[in-house]
Amino acid sequence: MTGSSRPGDFDAVRKSVIDLLKQPEYDDGSAGPVLVRLAWHSAGTYDAETDTGGSNGAGMRYESEGGDPANAGLQHARLFLEPVKRQHPWITYADLWTLAGVTAIQAMGGPEIPWFPGRTDYVDDSKLPPRGRLPDAAQGSDHIRHIFYRMGFNDREIVALSGAHNLGRCHTANSGFEGKWVNNPTRFSNQYFRLLISEEWKEKTLPDSGIVQFAAVDPITEEELMMLPTDMALIHDQEFLQWVKVYAQDKNLFFEDFAKVFSKLMELGITRDAQGKITNSDNEKGGYIS
Ligand code: DDH
């Protein structure tokens, strides 16, 4: 592991994150996908109307948010990052989780995502998100729109963000769903969109739980791949489908859009002044911890 760093040396933190991505004993040998999911769930609680939730404050450290069943499994991501926090104690958890997500995406072959620091670990109880803010995979396009419009995203942005399911997998123990979306789940690409439209996805009921997901056999590896009901909603809804087709054909446009929209996700609920300093959180109580 690389040495300690001076406060504000985010490149040193990025390097420490890259150093921990290889995890031979963990899923597909990589901590990358679960780090991306941690970044997304830390931010995806945002509600534009009440200006609550979002990545600032790193509320998932506490039971009310961390214990949300939607966040099951993310303790692995938080634990992977503990040595990085110990090595660079000046960085806040809120910055670390979001920086680790964008770093992992790029290290797995994805785009460079603009990321800005300054989040604090101060939790304002009145801004804590209630449970139920994150999407429910068993539902359809109305639910997806309800969740993502609440954060301020449009249909194109929703589809671009959903492309993160190029990475990682579902675990029975976490969500009840099982399997991976693509055959190389630690390589960021537009394969998820290509498979959505090229394969014939068949409903599959998991024998022990009765949970319904969708399955197809990968034409090259002959492995079984999966889609969630919410993934399938992207091809059953004409507005969403149009963007699935675009991204399936144009990897560069997908990467460009994904970088913009993931960056926007990481910034939800954060306002900055001209110098980039966050103006809407109590920096006296958070900021760099030295
Ligand atoms: Fe997701 N996701 N996600 N997802 N997600 C799961 C895994 C991963 C939904 C449900 C699930 C996004 C959107 C949605 C990642 C990133 C992103 C799992 C499996 C479920 C269930 C968890 C488990 O069993 O461990 C639903 C529903 C939606 C929706 O949009 C309606 C978005 C927007 C992102 C993003 O990053 C921008 C990643 C990465 C994973 C893989 C995690 C892992 O451990 O591997």
Domain containing 241 — which CATH number?
1.10.420.10
Domain residues for 46?
10-134+263-285
Contact predicate 93/101, CB 8 Å: no
At residue 287, does pLDDT exceed 60?
no
Residue 2 within a domain: no
Within 8 A by CB and 6+ apart from 197, the residues are 235, 244, 245, 248
What is the number of structural domains in the chain?
2
Residue 148 CA: which ligand 1 atom is closest?
30
Backbone angles phi, psi at 211, to 5 degrees: -70, 140
At residue 197, does pLDDT exceed 70?
yes
Same domain, 151 and 249: yes
Nearest Cα to 274, choosing from 148, 116, 125?
116
Binding site membership of 144 for ligand 1 (Cβ less than 6 Å): yes
Same domain, 115 and 185: no
Same domain, 84 and 102: yes
Nearest Cα to 196, choosing from 238, 224, 233?
233
Binding site membership of 168 for ligand 1 (Cβ less than 6 Å): yes
Separation between Cα atoms, residue 188 and residue 242, nearest integer Å: 21
Model confidence at 9, pLDDT cuts 50, 70, 90, reads very high
pLDDT tens for 53-84 read 999 999 999 999 999 999 999 999 999 999 99
Give the active site residue among 41, 76, 88, 165. Answer: 41
Q: Best substitution site from 165, 177, 236 to test ligand 1's pocket, by max atoms within 8 Å of Cβ?
A: 165
pLDDT tens for 18-57 read 999 999 999 999 999 999 999 999 999 999 999 999 999 9
Separation between Cα atoms, residue 193 and residue 249, nearest integer Å: 9
Same domain, 114 and 152: no
CATH of the domain at 65: 1.10.520.10
For the record, the structure tokens of 185 come out as: 């789940």
Model confidence at 1, pLDDT cuts 50, 70, 90, reads low
Ligand 1 center from residue 203 Cα (angstroms)? 19
ipTM score of the complex?
A: 0.99
Same domain, 76 and 154: no
Binding site membership of 156 for ligand 1 (Cβ less than 6 Å): no
Separation between Cα atoms, residue 48 and residue 197, nearest integer Å: 32
Total Cβ atoms within 10 A of residue 39: 27
Same domain, 167 and 236: yes
Backbone angles phi, psi at 89, to 5 degrees: -65, -15
Is 41 catalytic? The answer is: yes
Q: What is the mean pLDDT of residues 8-14?
A: 97
Contact predicate 243/192, CB 8 Å: no
To the nearest 10°, report the CA torsion of 66, 96, 85, 83. Answer: 80
Residue 158 within a domain: yes
Is 181 catalytic? The answer is: yes
At residue 7, does pLDDT exceed 50?
yes
For the record, the structure tokens of 45 come out as: 């609680």
Residue nearest to atom 44 of ligand 1 (CA): 34
Same domain, 170 and 89: no
Same domain, 232 and 268: no
Q: Best substitution site from 115, 144, 170, 227 to test ligand 1's pocket, by max atoms within 8 Å of Cβ?
A: 170
